[in-house]
A and B are shown apart, each in its own frame.
Chain A
Amino acid sequence: MQPRRVVITGIGCITPLGPDVPTFWRRLQAGESAIRPIERTLVGDTVRFPAAEVPDYEPRRHFKGPELFLRDPFAQFALIAAREAIADAGITFTADPAGTAIVLGTGGGGETSREHAAVQLFAEKRGRCHPMLVPKTNNQAAVGLVSMEHGITGPAFVVSTGCAASTHAIAQAFDLIRFGRATSAITGGSEASILYSVARAFGAVQVLASDTCRPFSRDRTGMVLGEGAGVLVLEELAHARARGARIHAELLGAGMSADARDPVHPSPSGPAQAMRAALADARLRPEAIDHINAHGTGTVANDRAETAAIRDVFGAAADRIAVSATKSMHGHMFGGTGAVEAIAAVLALRHGVAPPTANYLGPDPECDLDYVPNVCRSRPIAHALSNSFAFGGLNVVLAFGHADAAEAAR
């Protein structure tokens, strides 16, 4: 069976840069970083660290009644981004509710509620949990809530691969449509875990930045926690055309791999294998790629390994690729980050603008690519990759193509 073509017809996000896609894209192009020094106090101990929080977030503006009590912020963010993506796609589900899949990613699911319950149990010794704690904190909670809110009854599940979760989720949704299990999919992911316990835990791994996130830059000190959600509506090309949908971009391929090396230290071989697999899946030559939204966390080890991987795959052609690390602006949104970066890549294709890598101070001898330092760049982009790598050495890469090719297809 010839795989079906899959296009992106809707995008939605809530990020540290703002509550929706237009705000996200405007501030991303402007190179504005949402990273600020913050603090979290729990049971009398305070931890201070830089982070990128969703600004002025008021759950009451989005949810009412019992919803306010029964939804963890990670699910709230997913629901808000899904609403924007579905409205953007102009898609409805009543005619064929079983034809749409929902595949979302998250790293920790309901970490906020879990930490809160831990304090109630162990510090305050309340001796009981709220009866909705389990359904509220389950990693699949957001998937179930999106299905309920929109009446979608097709295949629905969560993918949990930490920092790569929403990219892996998109890759799964892509295959569900390509191979005929669904005609459309709501996919992406979310995270809400800028918490005392998470800051302490990641601090212990010694990967958190002391100042801000400066991917690929000299004097970079590490990653910065972010939060939020990104959701895309994927659709079989014929289905999108039949309903006259506006096409943002085409999802051409996905590549996945495991380093099989080390729990935390990245290696260039796994990411290179995933990029090659994505190119092969998309039937693209390396020279066809104009832009990469890098994993680019800002840690010394990731950025060095990712640069080596890109060099390995693209050779001399790597020098003409605009490599952007948007985590410098929205932080590392863990299970939501890959979807938000996929949206950034889709917008870069659509508008012919590579977003900048913010907070860049100057070259590091081990990072010698064009990272679009600090200022965005207008340039035609026909094909783009979006990279995501997770602890455990789990890698996934998506390949996108400009909408023109899909529009021209008959």
Chain B
Amino acid sequence: MTAAAPKLDGALSVLDVHTAIYQTLRDLKNLGDVVLTPETPFKALGMTSLEMLTLAFELEDRWGIVIKDAYLDDFETIGEASATVLELVASRAG
């Protein structure tokens, strides 16, 4: 729960973002044996809007970014969300 801006090591990979999203989804949804991939649609996991917002807050806190609410409605898959996170982190670095 630290609110300090996280360090940006410049080496954030798509895999790091996927791993963070998988972990948060498993915390939120008790997914058991369900296999998560970048192609997994959030709808298939039964994500509510509250859960999508909670996911967004977790990713925002982790990387010091702001994900616009409008993006949240557009994310269909884990891969789409991670691509946006990478873009936001890159634009913050610049």
| CB interface residues, B 5-58, toward A, < 8 Å | 27-30, 50-51, 53-54, 57-58
Instruction: Name the residue of chain B whose CB is nearest to the CB of A196.
Output: B3
- Interchain CA distance A41-B1 in the complex, whole Å: 12
Instruction: State the interface size on chain B (CB cutoff 8 A).
Output: 17
Cross-interface CB contact of A130 among B27, B29, B54, B64, cutoff 8 Å: B54
B80 CB-CB contact with A under 8 Å: no
A112 CB-CB contact with B under 8 Å: yes
Provided the pairs A65-B27, A126-B66 are in contact, do residues A42 and B54 lie with their beta carbons within 8 angstroms? no
The minimal Cβ–Cβ distance linking B66 to chain A, given in whole angstroms, is 5
The minimal Cβ–Cβ distance linking B65 to chain A, given in whole angstroms, is 9
A42 touches B69 (CB 8 A): no
Cross-interface CB contact of A116 among B1, B54, B58, cutoff 8 Å: B1
Contact with B along A126-161 (1 / 0, CB 8 A): 111011100000000000000000000000000000
Provided the pairs A126-B66, A130-B53 are in contact, do residues A115 and B30 lie with their beta carbons within 8 angstroms? no
A126 touches B60 (CB 8 A): yes
A112 touches B50 (CB 8 A): no
- CB-CB < 8 A to A123: which residues of B? 3
- Interchain CA distance A337-B69 in the complex, whole Å: 41
Provided the pairs A65-B27, A126-B60, A131-B50 are in contact, do residues A42 and B4 lie with their beta carbons within 8 angstroms? yes
Taking Cβ atoms with an 8 Å cutoff, the residues of A that contact B are: 41-43, 64-66, 68-69, 73, 112-113, 115-116, 119-120, 123-128, 130-132
- Interchain CA distance A119-B54 in the complex, whole Å: 17
- Interchain CA distance A125-B20 in the complex, whole Å: 23
- CB-CB < 8 A to B69: which residues of A? 128
- Interchain CA distance A108-B40 in the complex, whole Å: 41
- Interchain CA distance A65-B54 in the complex, whole Å: 12
The minimal Cβ–Cβ distance linking B29 to chain A, given in whole angstroms, is 7
Count CB-based A-B contacts (< 8 Å): 44
Provided the pairs A64-B27, A124-B66, A126-B66 are in contact, do residues A69 and B4 lie with their beta carbons within 8 angstroms? no
Instruction: Name the residue of chain B whose CB is nearest to the CB of A70.
Output: B54
A132 touches B66 (CB 8 A): no
Can you pick out 18 interface pairs between chain A and chain B where the beta carbons lie within 8 Å of each other?
A: A42-B3, A64-B27, A65-B27, A65-B29, A66-B27, A66-B54, A68-B27, A69-B28, A69-B58, A73-B1, A112-B1, A115-B3, A119-B3, A123-B3, A124-B66, A130-B54, A130-B57, A132-B50
- CB-CB < 8 A to B60: which residues of A? 120, 126
| CB interface residues, B 55-93, toward A, < 8 Å | 57-58, 60, 64, 66, 69
- Interchain CA distance A126-B29 in the complex, whole Å: 25
The minimal Cβ–Cβ distance linking A93 to chain B, given in whole angstroms, is 25
- CB-CB < 8 A to B3: which residues of A? 42-43, 115-116, 119-120, 123
- Interchain CA distance A266-B29 in the complex, whole Å: 50
- Interchain CA distance A125-B5 in the complex, whole Å: 13
- Interchain CA distance A116-B69 in the complex, whole Å: 19
- CB-CB < 8 A to A113: which residues of B? 1
- CB-CB < 8 A to B53: which residues of A? 130-131
Instruction: Name the residue of chain A whose CB is nearest to the CB of B66.
Output: A126
The minimal Cβ–Cβ distance linking A92 to chain B, given in whole angstroms, is 26
The minimal Cβ–Cβ distance linking B57 to chain A, given in whole angstroms, is 5
A66 touches B28 (CB 8 A): yes
Cross-interface CB contact of A65 among B4, B30, B58, cutoff 8 Å: B30
The minimal Cβ–Cβ distance linking B34 to chain A, given in whole angstroms, is 14
- Interchain CA distance A66-B54 in the complex, whole Å: 9
B1 touches A69 (CB 8 A): no
- CB-CB < 8 A to B1: which residues of A? 73, 112-113, 116
A69 touches B29 (CB 8 A): no
- Interchain CA distance A69-B27 in the complex, whole Å: 9
Instruction: Name the residue of chain A whose CB is nearest to the CB of B51.
Output: A66
Instruction: Name the residue of chain A whose CB is nearest to the CB of B3.
Output: A119
Instruction: Name the residue of chain A whose CB is nearest to the CB of B30.
Output: A65
- Interchain CA distance A124-B66 in the complex, whole Å: 8
- CB-CB < 8 A to A131: which residues of B? 50, 53
The minimal Cβ–Cβ distance linking B54 to chain A, given in whole angstroms, is 5
**Residue in B27, B28, B29 with the greatest tally of chain A CB atoms within 10 Å:** B27
- CB-CB < 8 A to B57: which residues of A? 130
- CB-CB < 8 A to B64: which residues of A? 124
